[in-house]
């Protein structure tokens, strides 16, 4: 009997999580593991989010509306308006995490076999969603030497076929930390209009930009009102990754209606976390100021220490809390595993995410890793020292 579908067999394992068994084994041997592999911040979830959950007065934990609680959607419209994103609550659907937002958007605009262009490296789970939706991801390669900026317009244009349905960016970018400029977004606007495409943008790191930059949303682009689909999530914003609350935002009512039909099939997103999210939107600005300052410090310490390691290439990320780093090793996958299985300093080691899983083009990113600066400055200093020593000792090093 052929037990599994091809889809079940070819689904790529997540590079963020596939080394977890080795980390677990290390922990069993008494080794402390600094987790820089996953975007799970150590930042406390604000009380504004958690308090209404603790104070819940609810006889029946009932289904909510498929589109999300109406009061939450109205509050979200207010939140977006603060960023000059002109939407009403009817342009917003609440989803079960940003993950579901991306799957619904892919399914609404793509039939199986249709294509979406994505700059690589990209958030690795896009691959999984594409397998589920039967969508073909067509990568355009951005380069570590150029800080992962948007590739030139010609290299995007040449990827467009009659199956292309849209271009998806992540801005600020996971995994590169790059923040697309207004000019780069204008370039995308031009391509999208010329070729009759959708422009999708995963903007879950909106707040996380450094060095006094401002973030431009695709929802700010003029003349694209019916072609833009913004994907969002509260996971990082309120350090509430376990809440599984995301959003689809689009002024194209047909897109919203199609996504809502998928939403009706799964009935509704989790009710309790929607209540937390609604209150979380009133989190005082000081919380974010403090959090952004903290990430900024972590970023500076990490990049400075990385750049002191011989053979390491570390572009300065402009946003989010990740960076892609080139290491002087042949196979970063093996190195990341080795750090967990064969290396420690005083019973401490570090877990990284091999970057090859963030590329779609085979062979790319083999000497790169994604590092998330989600630990405090002291922990980052320790982790970077461990990494520096590991690179010196690793038998597979190239310098």
List the interface residues with a second copy, window 101-120 (CB under 8 A).
107-112, 114
The reply on whether position 223 binds a second copy by CB under 8 A is no
CA dihedral 348, 353, 355, 357 (to 10 degrees): 150
Instruction: Rule CB under 8 A: choose which of 37, 96, 173, 349 binds a second copy.
Output: 96
55 counts as binding a second copy under rule CB under 8 A: yes
Whether the CB-CB separation of 84 and 314 falls below 8 Å is answered with no
CB of 286 to a second copy, least distance (A): 18
DSSP state of 151: P
Q: Is 353 helix (H, G, I), strand (E, B) or coil?
A: strand
Residue 272 binds to a second copy (criterion: CB under 8 A): yes
Nearer to a second copy, 132 or 389 (CB): 132
CA distances to 91, 250, 375 from 37, rounded to whole Å, are 34, 32, 11
Provide the minimum distance between the beta carbon of 312 and a second copy in the complex, in angstroms, as a whole number.
28
User: Strands, DSSP E only, in 258-347?
Assistant: 322-326
Binders of a second copy in range 173-202 (CB under 8 A): 196
Q: Map the footprint of a second copy across residues 15-44, applying CB under 8 A.
A: 17, 38, 40-44
Which is closer to a second copy, CB of 153 or CB of 267? 267
Instruction: For residue 193, give the 3-state DSSP assignment.
Output: helix
Give the residue, chosen from 90, 132, 331, 348, that forms a contact with a second copy under the rule CB under 8 A.
132
Count residues binding a second copy (CB under 8 A). 80
Asked if residue 128 binds a second copy (CB under 8 A), the reply is yes
Helices 377-393 and 332-341 pack at an angle, to 10 degrees, of 110
- From candidates 25, 86, 190, 242, binder to a second copy by CB under 8 A: 242
Span interacting with a second copy, options 11-19, 75-83, 183-191, 286-294, rule CB under 8 A? 11-19
Taking the C-alpha atoms of residue 51 and residue 139, their distance in angstroms, rounded to an integer, is 43
Out of 273, 278, 333, 367, the only residue in the binding site for a second copy (CB under 8 A) is: 273
CA distances from 242 to 15, 154, 380 (A): 19, 40, 23
| Cβ at position 232, least distance to a second copy in Å | 15
Tally the C-alpha atoms within 13 A of residue 166's C-alpha that lie toward its C-beta: 22
Instruction: Return the closest-CA partner of residue 350 out of 31, 124, 41, 43.
Output: 31
Binding a second copy by CB under 8 A: which of 48, 271, 341, 376? 271
């Amino acid at each position: 009997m052929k037990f599994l579908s091809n889809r079940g067999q070819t689904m790529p394992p997540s590079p963020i999580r596939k080394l977890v068994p080795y980390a677990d084994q290390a922990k069993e041997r008494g080794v402390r593991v600094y987790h820089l592999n996953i975007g799970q911040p150590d930042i406390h979830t604000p009380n504004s989010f958690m308090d209404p959950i603790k104070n819940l007065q609810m006889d029946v934990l009932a289904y909510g509306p498929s589109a999300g609680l109406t009061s939450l959607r109205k509050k979200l419209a207010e939140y977006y308006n603060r960023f000059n994103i002109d939407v009403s609550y009817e342009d917003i659907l609440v989803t079960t995490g940003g993950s579901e937002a991306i799957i619904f958007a892919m399914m609404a605009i793509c039939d199986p076999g249709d294509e979406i262009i994505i700059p690589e490296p990209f958030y690795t789970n896009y691959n999984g969603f594409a397998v589920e939706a039967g969508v073909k991801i067509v990568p355009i390669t951005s380069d570590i030497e150029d800080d992962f900026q948007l590739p030139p317009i010609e290299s995007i244009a040449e990827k467009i076929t009659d199956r292309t349905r849209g271009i998806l960016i992540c801005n600020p970018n996971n995994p590169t930390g790059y923040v697309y400029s207004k000019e780069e977004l204008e370039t995308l606007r031009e391509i999208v209009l010329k070729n009759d495409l959708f422009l999708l943008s995963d903007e879950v790191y909106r707040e996380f930009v450094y060095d006094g930059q401002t973030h431009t949303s695709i929802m700010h682009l003029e003349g694209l009102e019916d072609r833009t689909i913004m994907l969002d999530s509260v996971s990082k914003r309120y350090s509430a990754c376990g809440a599984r609350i995301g959003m689809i935002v689009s002024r194209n009512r047909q897109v919203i209606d199609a996504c809502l039909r998928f939403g009706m099939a799964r009935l509704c997103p989790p009710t309790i976390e929607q209540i937390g999210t609604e209150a979380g939107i009133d989190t005082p600005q000081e919380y974010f100021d403090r959090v952004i300052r903290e990430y900024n410090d972590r970023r500076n310490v990490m990049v400075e220490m990385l750049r002191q390691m011989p053979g390491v290439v570390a572009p300065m990320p402009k946003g989010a809390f990740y960076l892609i780093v080139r290491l002087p090793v042949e196979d970063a996958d093996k190195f990341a595993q080795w750090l967990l299985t064969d290396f420690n300093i005083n019973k401490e080691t570090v877990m990284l995410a091999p970057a090859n899983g963030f590329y779609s083009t085979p062979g790319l990113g083999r000497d790169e890793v994604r590092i998330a600066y989600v630990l405090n400055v002291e922990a980052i200093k320790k982790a970077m020292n461990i990494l520096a020593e590991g690179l010196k000792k690793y038998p597979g090093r190239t310098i």
